[in-house]
Amino acid sequence: MDSKRKLANLTTETRNQATLNIDTSSTTEIVTLITQEDQHVLRAVQEEIPRIVEAAELLTEVLKQGGRIIYMGSGTSGRLGVLDAAELLPTFGVGEDQVKALIAGGTKAMFIPVEHAEDDEEAGLEDFLGEDPSEQDALVAISASGRTPYVMAPLKKAKEMGLVTIGLTCNGDSEISEVAQVTIAPVVGPEAVTGSTRMKAGTAQKIVLNTLSTTVMIKIGKVYKNLMVDMLPTNEKLQQRAIHIVAEATGITQEQAQEVLEAADFNIKAAIVMVQADCDLETAHSLLAQAEGVVGKALQIIAQEG
């Protein structure tokens, strides 16, 4: 079967019978049709929970063992990977040394389509190997079709090298699923506009990436209760959020929280431990080190010692 026939047989490329006349529909009808189609997305993602769980467990261990997670994708899939990786820094204090995203066509492709780049296997391999990957790392290959050459070539290489390999696609029985250790495949069905995978497929991929990365961040101690305790307070709004987080976590006033944060150099985790353990910054850092950076575990150590 040639590549054109393979593409035609993909669920994401088939005609949606519910939207055949969308071009002559009223504005209300168009919006209704699109949002009705979007309702299929969450159900499709929820069916993939077992695979998301498996992937999250694997990726958690990668970061705990000092490895990195590398996202690769093209077009919408690539942009979603870049977005997810970029947002981990302000939200959880995790930078490119732990999670890095590569997009076909490079930075330019974030803003201007570089459509031919997705077919470039050599560029995919070059970009991947340029990160000096090791068997401690993980590759998350993102491709709505499940066959993009830019990600397939690195995925095969990563498997050979012994990396953890995760696939994210919106087609069942894809080429990615034949290679990846775990494949997450929310099958959302045909798009409202045929082949426009920036729509349901993109939404599904965004939900999966949000869920996957947030789960991993929680499991490596970036969250206490449901608070972002490794957030980087780099502007006034985030500093105010940090004050609110410390006050919420400890029960002290906003004014007291600000004083403790200033004493802790705006390290939220340390500030919480300082309040709860009634200790200085050095002791708080020591407790967090013993607890591998997990606030809840640090507080358990305090309770046991008390």
Residues noted as catalytic: 87, 118
**Phi, psi (deg, nearest 5) at residue 71:** -90, 140
- Residue 136: DSSP 8-state: T
Composition of the chain by helix, strand, coil, percent to 5: 60, 10, 30
CB 271 within 8 A of CB 257: yes
Query: How many DSSP H helices and E strands does the chain contain?
Result: 13, 7
Sequence-distant (6+) residues with CB within 8 A of 192 are 16, 18, 19, 22, 33, 34, 37, 199, 200
Closest to 268 measured CA to CA, from 219, 220, 222, 216 = 222
Q: Is 72 helix (H, G, I), strand (E, B) or coil?
A: strand
End-to-end CA, the chain: 69
